């Protein structure tokens, strides 16, 4: 329905919906709509209002904080405004042009709540939320419980006002949510909702850590940078310095666009939530000259990145046992587009969390992507259909049928059979030996039947044995056997796996705390299994990024598997890297591959680069030799262009690797 014009009745309904969402958001912290849905609806209301000025929007499009239920008891001596949005390159250029040649600063737009704090002779005396922009709620007592970056007492007897954003870092959010759930409450949907829900509750019995960063300070200064330097001196965290250390200074539109791209690029790695970049004039003279409208200043604007929270329907919860025996709950979702990717699976913390939230299949849930790449389901959202029954986790391990060890929040299965099946499954997985047809069902069946208890046993299996293996049940309860055809495929695939490169063999052994990268590092450094087994913890730890703890795990893990490794070697599994001395055309070169390279997977392309003497890295830096990508508009591509690093077309790169 997006984009179509409203009828009057739809308009009125939409206004009501926005008001209800805003009211519940500010009053209880409960989220009825995601920010993106809220903004989109508000945009449509504004468009309709422009076409039919006589329609009554109850002020939701004009008030500073649209639809908010009301201000509070604290009057803001200077109104707390919002920022107008700029979307796309042209509007950014337009905004910069409006500055009349003066420089602008580009900083993160923190995703929290605006707050104003007064100090008297160095003591924090008042903290007030933005409210409706003219008056806001007094939250002094809550703030005095402790907010990082907002000292109750400054080192200097400063008197004045600081403005900024109060927000939750990713860690703050995890802690606050866990504390709230432990106290019998609901989890928060994302960190902004969490701040909104926590900051106004006076009688909270649980702690909700929060952080403050400043973007304005009272007093006479000639530039914003000077103002913020003084804020830092007083002991405040400064918004403009959070992501990049120093605030990004942009002399022209190209520089501003590059700075916006840089923040967008960093966004995934930041440990605090942002929803955009703020462009602001640096010089006070420029700010004074441009002035402000009723809701927004003309000297600043917000560039919004795609929303990091989406809402979608929970279709299923899969229960699996991880490599280490821990329960893993995976939500199966209706596909939803969040921050540039389509998400169909997300993690769901632990069984207690799922029970506490009362998640039910068929329910609408919020999916949040922040700080890392694994999206998570954070909370039910909006109105829920009636008659759904909350999902309950199975009491027993789905692989071996034994009861879980529930002594920690992440339940575990310790049975030897499960440990064995998980080890087989990991060895056969795509990131290790890539044995086709050897998934969970087959590996569990192999262990249950006694045909295989470790990975070396796999290479003794015959087609006849495999064909008779029960791997499932029919609807009517009959047994499904693997069958001759599948058995032949598995045996052929196992045979092929013997010539997988050495690094995959190391990875497949499944040593704790190691994965694909460690397999590659160890193969590149030690070349043969004999040399690797002879290596000391110190020698292994010398590998860049390895560290002593992982190195110790490698030594212990290999020692524990001596017998298995010997039998694998006897079966003909690769135990060394081929001797390619003198054939290292990529020696000293570092490539960043973004997107796919024809004929390679993400793993095999890194393997090939390293085989040819080069390094494969994930992020573009001054040390990068070239970026391999077909995209020219991504943040990585822009960063490469900025650093003068060449971009190689994936097809061309595939030829390079082949030759
Ligand atoms: S400058 C006139 N800088 O975004 C207000 N705002 O819609 C001047 N925000 O209410 C704001 N990070 O709460 C500024 N680095 C930043 C910001 C920031 C977050 C919030 C602020 C404001 C809203 C604008």
One DSSP character per residue, 375-435 reads: -EEEEE-S---TTPPBP---SB-TTT-PBPB-SSSS-B---HHHHHHHHHHHHHSTTTT--
Q: Measured between alpha carbons, how far is 438 from 497 in angstroms, rounded to an integer?
A: 12
pLDDT at 427: 96
Q: Measured between alpha carbons, how far is 281 from 104 in angstroms, rounded to an integer?
A: 4
Q: Measured between alpha carbons, how far is 202 from 209 in angstroms, rounded to an integer?
A: 15
Distance 110 CA to ligand 1 centre (A): 7
Q: Measured between alpha carbons, how far is 139 from 173 in angstroms, rounded to an integer?
A: 19
Q: Which atom in ligand 1 lies closest to the alpha carbon of residue 108?
A: 15
Stretches where the chain sits below pLDDT 50 are 1-2, 64-70
In the chain, how long is the greatest CA-to-CA distance? 86
Cα distances from 395 to residues 45, 65, 325, 348, 411, in angstroms, run: 49, 47, 15, 17, 10
Q: Measured between alpha carbons, how far is 602 from 604 in angstroms, rounded to an integer?
A: 6
∠ CA 568-570-576, rounded to 5° = 70
Distance 186 CA to ligand 1 centre (A): 28
Q: 529: Cβ below 6 Å to ligand 1?
A: no
pLDDT tens digits, one per residue of 114-167: 999 999 999 999 999 998 889 999 999 999 999 999 999 999 999 999 999 999
Distance 86 CA to ligand 1 centre (A): 14
Among 42, 83, 85, 247, which is best to mutate for testing ligand 1, by the most ligand atoms less than 8 A from CB?
A: 83
Distance 176 CA to ligand 1 centre (A): 24
Q: Measured between alpha carbons, how far is 151 from 432 in angstroms, rounded to an integer?
A: 51
Length of the chain: 659
Q: How far is C-alpha 645 from the chain's CA centre? A: 27
Task: Kindly report the protein residue whose alpha carbon is nearest to atom 21 of ligand 1.
Answer: 114
pLDDT at 29: 59
Q: 632 phi and psi, to 5 degrees?
A: -110, -5
Distance 470 CA to ligand 1 centre (A): 62
Task: Kindly report the protein residue whose alpha carbon is nearest to atom 6 of ligand 1.
Answer: 109
Beta bridge partners of 648: 628
Q: Which atom in ligand 1 lies closest to the alpha carbon of residue 111?
A: 19
Q: Measured between alpha carbons, how far is 369 from 299 in angstroms, rounded to an integer?
A: 31
Q: 215: Cβ below 6 Å to ligand 1?
A: yes
Distance 222 CA to ligand 1 centre (A): 20
Strand ranges, E, within 211-304:
211-217, 248-250, 274-281, 300-304
Q: 504: Cβ below 6 Å to ligand 1?
A: no
pLDDT at 67: 34
Of the candidates 49, 85, 109, 475, the residue annotated as catalytic is 109
The residue with tokens 């970049």 is: 277
Task: Kindly report the protein residue whose alpha carbon is nearest to atom 17 of ligand 1.
Answer: 109
Q: Which atom in ligand 1 lies closest to the alpha carbon of residue 109?
A: 12
Cα distances from 335 to residues 313, 315, 341, 403, 611, in angstroms, run: 9, 10, 10, 33, 38
Q: Which helix (H) or strand (E) holds 627?
A: strand 626-628
Using DSSP's 3-state secondary structure scheme, residue 654 falls into: helix
User: Which domains, from first to last, does the chain contain?
Assistant: 8-67 (1.10.287), 74-304 (3.30.470.30), 309-414 (2.40.50.140), 416-497 (1.10.150.20), 502-571 (1.10.150.20), 590-658 (3.40.50.10190)
Q: 110: Cβ below 6 Å to ligand 1?
A: yes
Q: Whose CA is closest to 76, among 27, 116, 112, 113?
A: 116
The residue with tokens 């008056």 is: 135
pLDDT at 600: 87
pLDDT at 178: 85
214 Cβ contact list (under 8 Å, min separation 6): 149, 162, 163, 164, 228, 231, 236, 237, 238, 239
pLDDT at 309: 87
Distance 83 CA to ligand 1 centre (A): 7
Q: Which atom in ligand 1 lies closest to the alpha carbon of residue 165?
A: 13
Q: 278: Cβ below 6 Å to ligand 1?
A: yes
Task: Kindly report the protein residue whose alpha carbon is nearest to atom 15 of ligand 1.
Answer: 109
Q: 82: Cβ below 6 Å to ligand 1?
A: yes
Q: How many CB atoms lie within 10 A of CB 237?
A: 18
Q: 84: Cβ below 6 Å to ligand 1?
A: no
Task: Kindly report the protein residue whose alpha carbon is nearest to atom 14 of ligand 1.
Answer: 215
Task: Give the pairing type, strands 211-217 and 160-167.
Answer: antiparallel
Cβ atoms of 39 and 85 closer than 8 Å = no
Q: Measured between alpha carbons, how far is 407 from 427 in angstroms, rounded to an integer?
A: 29
Q: Which two tokens stand for residue 519?
A: 């397999």
Among 110, 259, 295, 298, which is best to mutate for testing ligand 1, by the most ligand atoms less than 8 A from CB?
A: 110
pTM: 0.64
Q: Measured between alpha carbons, how far is 246 from 107 in angstroms, rounded to an integer?
A: 9
Q: 260 phi and psi, to 5 degrees?
A: -65, -45
Among 132, 302, 303, which is best to mutate for testing ligand 1, by the most ligand atoms less than 8 A from CB?
A: 302
Q: Measured between alpha carbons, how far is 61 from 46 in angstroms, rounded to an integer?
A: 6
Among 42, 68, 104, 165, which is best to mutate for testing ligand 1, by the most ligand atoms less than 8 A from CB?
A: 165
Distance 279 CA to ligand 1 centre (A): 10
Q: 114: Cβ below 6 Å to ligand 1?
A: yes
pLDDT at 517: 86
pLDDT at 70: 46
Distance 184 CA to ligand 1 centre (A): 33
17 is catalytic: no
């Amino acid at each position: 329905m997006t984009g179509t014009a409203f009828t009057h009745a739809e308009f009125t309904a939409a206004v009501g919906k926005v008001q209800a969402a805003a009211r519940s958001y500010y009053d209880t912290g409960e989220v009825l709509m995601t920010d993106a849905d809220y903004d989109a609806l508000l945009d449509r209301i504004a468009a309709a209002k422009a076409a039919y000025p006589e329609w009554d929007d109850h002020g939701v499009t004009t008030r500073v904080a649209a639809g908010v239920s009301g201000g509070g008891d604290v009057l803001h001596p200077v109104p707390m405004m919002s920022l107008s949005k700029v979307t796309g390159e042209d509007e950014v250029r337009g905004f910069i042009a409006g500055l009349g040649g003066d420089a602008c600063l580009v900083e993160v737009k923190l995703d929290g709540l605006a707050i104003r704090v007064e100090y008297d002779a160095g003591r924090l005396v008042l903290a007030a939320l933005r409210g409706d922009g003219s008056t806001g709620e007094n939250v002094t007592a809550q703030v005095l419980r402790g907010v990082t970056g907002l000292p109750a007492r400054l080192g200097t007897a400063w008197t004045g006002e600081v403005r900024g954003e109060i927000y939750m870092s990713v860690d703050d959010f995890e802690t606050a949510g866990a504390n709230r759930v432990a106290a019998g409450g609901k989890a928060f949907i994302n960190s902004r909702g969490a701040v909104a829900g926590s900051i106004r509750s006076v009688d909270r019995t649980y702690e909700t850590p929060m952080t403050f960063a400043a973007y304005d300070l009272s007093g006479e200064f000639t530039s914003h940078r000077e103002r913020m330097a003084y804020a830092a001196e007083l002991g405040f965290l400064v918004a403009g310095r959070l992501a990049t250390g120093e605030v990004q200074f942009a002399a022209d539109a190209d520089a501003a666009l590059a700075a916006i791209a840089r923040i967008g690029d960093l966004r995934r790695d930041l440990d605090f939530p942002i929803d955009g970049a703020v462009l602001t004039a640096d010089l006070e003279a420029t700010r004074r000259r441009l002035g402000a409208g009723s809701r927004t200043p003309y000297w600043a604007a917000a560039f919004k990145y795609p929303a990091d929270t989406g809402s979608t329907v929970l279709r299923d919860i899969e229960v699996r046992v991880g490599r280490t025996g821990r329960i893993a709950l995976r939500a199966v979702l209706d596909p939803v587009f969040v921050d540039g990717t389509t998400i169909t699976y997300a993690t769901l913390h632990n069984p207690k969390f799922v029970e506490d939230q009362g998640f039910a299949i068929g329910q609408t849930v919020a999916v949040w992507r922040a700080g890392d790449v694994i999206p998570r389901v954070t909370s039910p959202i909006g109105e829920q259909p009636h008659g759904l029954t909350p999902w309950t986790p199975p009491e027993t391990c789905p692989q071996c049928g034994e009861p879980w060890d529930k002594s920690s929040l992440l339940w575990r299965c310790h049975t030897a059979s499960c440990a064995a099946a998980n080890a087989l499954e990991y060895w056969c997985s795509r990131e290790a030996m890539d044995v086709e047809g050897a998934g969970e069902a087959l590996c569990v069946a192999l262990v249950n039947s006694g045909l295989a208890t470790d990975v070396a046993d796999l290479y003794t299996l015959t087609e006849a044995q495999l064909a008779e293996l029960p791997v499932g049940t029919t609807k009517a309860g009959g047994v499904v056997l693997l069958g001759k055809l599948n058995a032949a495929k598995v045996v052929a695939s196992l045979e092929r796996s013997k010539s997988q490169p050495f690094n995959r063999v190391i990875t497949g052994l499944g040593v704790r705390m190691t994965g694909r990268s460690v397999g590659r590092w160890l193969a590149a450094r030690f070349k043969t299994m004999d040399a690797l087994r002879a290596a000391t913890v110190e020698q292994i730890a010398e590998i860049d990024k390895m560290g002593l703890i992982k190195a110790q795990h490698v030594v212990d893990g290999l020692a524990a598997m001596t017998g298995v490794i010997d039998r694998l070697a006897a079966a003909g599994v690769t135990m060394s890297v081929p001797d390619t001395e003198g054939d290292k055309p990529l020696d000293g070169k570092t490539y960043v591959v973004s997107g796919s390279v024809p004929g390679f997977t993400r793993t095999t392309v890194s393997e090939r680069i390293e085989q040819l003497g080069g390094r494969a890295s994930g992020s573009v830096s001054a040390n990068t030799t070239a970026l391999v990508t077909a995209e020219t508009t991504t943040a990585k591509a822009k960063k490469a262009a900025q650093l003068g690093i060449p971009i190689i077309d994936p097809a061309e790169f595939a030829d390079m690797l082949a030759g």
